[in-house]
Structure 1
Amino acid sequence: MGTFGRSAQEQGLTNPRPASRICVEADCCYKWSALQEQTYKRVSTPGRTLDNGAQSHTIILDNLRRAKRIAATYARIYLESEDVQGDKAKKGRYYWPALGAFAVKQVYCGFKFADEALVMKLVGWLPAFKKDNALLLEAMSRGNFWLFQEIAPWHLFYTHWPDDFDECIEERDEQQFHETVRKNLKTFPWNSQESIAKLDHFRVTADLRRGLKLFKKIEEADEIGRPQLQYDSLVFLAKHEQNVVLQRLTYADAEVQRILKMQATTETMVPGMMERAVFFAAACELHETEPNRALKVRMGYTQDGEHEESRDMLGRDPEADAFGLAPRPTRFGRELKAEKALFDASQRWLFVTRVADAFHRLMQKRTTYMEDQIAAIASWSNA
């Protein structure tokens, strides 16, 4: 995988394709090309030095390492880290990446479970199970990788060139990237050309546009108005993530749907199977203590103390405990019949909404804890 680097800048980043425009340094297409390259380098390892003096890179194929790097990048975008040229005074404007860090941490945990869990070793030798497991891991890898390639550059662009953001939002188009970047993208695994086409070549969508345009409003808002804007931006970007990227690249696949149906059944029937849940922690597992139950959202069930009524704008129960969740005597609350099929966009959205609500509640009430966990995930950048 090559890089367009300094020598390409000196050449003006011209695009040799017929009927394509010239991509020069001041243009949106140059900036999108540069940030796309920066994004895939974060999940690559350096290789040999090329003739132009630039260094080649190879995508990390190890699922665990790649997932950790993606989670770390999301965490660093939220934390406004120096390596993404962030502004710590503006921390909080990028809310989706904070939740994204926890979500990809769960993907990492899924990969880890597939490699190490005893139950997987006991049944993993069965040909049918082995085939299904490989197919599901491939689907998870594809969705996780291309979501990262699609969504990280939006945030990085606003960090680097906020004054050009509104104009350049409408001009992101993989077909107009610098030729070297386009060639690199075509060489990537997980059905690169087909995946990019399914994502409409990284062009902006209505939900994306609405979420992205809230960055500036979040920066300018006071302490009272800011949380609602953060939540709104999170929801718009999550709608795009779920309904466009993951639905098209992962959940629309008939074989993936078949496997997920079986997984939903075996989750409660087979001891030791991994739960379909999100833990708001850098760790993959949490001890079942009362405080920790507030950090877990399980698909198909309400959580301990999760009240459907009597919530304020932040989703908080005014009469809840210090964690924002009043404990109940049972491990989980009522079963949610309408939230069983992970591949069904509408059912999955019910789960994602509960995850977003819990995340937002914790970010507002347990900020120090949550940011400590995000910082721990951010430390994985060189995995």
Structure 2
Amino acid sequence: MADGTTIEAMTNDKPDSCVDVHCDCPALWSMAQQFCYTRLSNKKNNGAYRLINLYPARSRRIAATYARMYLETEEHGAPEKKGRYYWMALGAFASKTVGCTLETVQLSYTRMVMGSTVREGLGQGNFWLFMDIAAWHWFYSVSPTSFDQCAGERDTDTYVQKVKDQVKKMPWEAKSLPKIDHLKIKPEVLEGFALVKQIEAMPDSSKKQKLQLQHLMAMANHEQGNILQKLIYDEPDFAWWIKIQRADDKELRQTSGYATRAFAFAASIFSPGLEIAFTSECDTGVPELKNTAPKETKLEEYDSRMLWIKSVADQFHSRMIKFKAQMEGELATMAGWVGTHDGVIYPDERPPQ
């Protein structure tokens, strides 16, 4: 996929002079979308890009991008404003967890029973969440003023033609974009970035920490309610397999009538648990560094899932206050995953740096 956001402008013959180039909102949103796509792609020698195929590798590049955005080491970052993109820090741990889940022997074994339902659902959700949320942050970093002017105009149907054509070739595009309203602005995103403006203008304080948590939850409500719920959890097949993994035979009999206790129990044994570790490693033996979902959590139900996510957010926030250097050290490690290799490495292409 070649870069379709090149802007042409007339220049002059005066040395060391500058020419202003004015981009409209669709062009700027097209550039933001291209950033997301190229981050999950390798650049070929001819200037085109190839989206990498390996889902866990995509998840690690996504985690790296989130970590870099929080640390303000990403394109257009502002180190003096570190901490304004608070959701991104937790998002890095979450995407790492998705990658780890996709890599587990349990999920690979479960695919023998489930087919690709859970794997594809996780891959789809993580991919399109990244396409949504990373672009908002990249655009804001480029120009908060332009962001304010253009936030309401984001719509994949209005991108410049080459980028619009490219988006239509992305995985799961046909069934994903209508469900998530073609990436248009949502109230939770407006709330989250209104809080970003307050956070970046404040010195470190308990008041700033409170706003950071509010920002995190606004963005969490968006990514869970507007993106992931609509993309995967509302899908009957995906939700059914999530129930299977809980081994709740009574619930399954009430809703479907054809699952057996033995089958559900077997699926639960060979399925990954619901937990997140606040480390760059997939798991940790230190209880304080991870959060496991309560047994009664119904992952496919938004309200039930958000109760757990609020618990995760509170624990994350506490650790960011008490052990900030340690947490940011883990994020710095994940930031180094930006060029994670695909399952196949071709000699005529290179990963992001």
State the TM-score, normalized to the length of structure 1.
0.78
Aligned residue among 195, 206, 209 for 1:214? 195
Alignment counterpart, residue 204 of structure 2, candidates 219, 223, 235: 223
Counterpart residue number, 1:93: 84
CA RMSD, 1 decimal: 2.0
Query: CA distance change for structure 1 residues 267 and 354 in 2, over 3 Å: closer, same or farther?
Result: farther
Distance 1:105 1:268, change over 3 A: farther
Task: State the secondary structure of the residue aligned to 1:58.
Answer: strand
User: Aligned runs of 1:130-279 on 2, under 5 Å?
Assistant: 130-190=112-172, 192-224=173-205, 225-265=207-247, 273-279=271-277
Match of 1:367 in 2: 324
Unmatched segments (≥5 aa) in structure 1: 13-23, 50-54, 302-336
Offset of 1:169 from its aligned partner? 1.2
Q: Give me the whole-angstrom Cα distance separating, in 1, the residues matched to 2:328 and 2:107.
A: 33
Structure 1 residues 201-256: Cα deviation after superposition (integer angstroms, max 9, x where no partner) = 11111111111111110011232221011111111110010011000111011111
Pick one of 94, 98, 113 that aligns with 1:107. 98
8 Å contact 1:267–1:273 — kept in the other structure? no
Structure 2 portions without partners, runs of 5+: 11-20, 248-263, 341-353
Provide runs of 4+ in structure 1 moved above 4 Å. 266-273
Aligned to 1:72: 64
Between the aligned partners of 2:236 and 2:201, the Cα distance in structure 1 is 45
Does 1:38 pair with 2:35?
A: yes
Cα deviation 1:314-369 (Å, max 9, x = unaligned): xxxxxxxxxxxxxxxxxxxxxxx3xx210011100101111111111111111011
Query: If the length of structure 2 is used for normalisation, what is the TM-score?
Result: 0.84
The structure whose residues are more often helix, as a share, is 2
Could you say which residue in structure 2 is the equivalent of 1:4? 4
Aligned residue number for residue 344 of structure 2: none
**Structure-2 residue corresponding to 1:19:** none
Contact 1:267/1:275 (<8 A) preserved: no
Q: In structure 2, which of residues 298, 305, 309 is the aligned counterpart of residue 352 of structure 1?
A: 309
The alignment of Structure 1 onto Structure 2 pairs a total of residues equal to 313
Tell me what 2:281 maps to. Answer: 283
CA drift of 1:131 comes to: 5.0
Shift of 1:194: 2.5
Q: 1:10 is paired with a residue of what secondary structure?
A: coil
How many percent identity over aligned positions?
34
In 2, are the aligned partners of 1:211 and 1:237 still within 8 Å (CA)? Answer: yes
1:285 aligned counterpart, secondary structure: coil
CA 145–269 in structure 1, closer or farther in 2 if over 3 Å, else same: closer
**1:27 has 2:24 as partner:** yes
For the residues of structure 2 that align with 1:108 and 1:267, how far apart are their CA atoms?
A: 24
Alignment partners' CA distance in 2, 1:357 and 1:198: 30
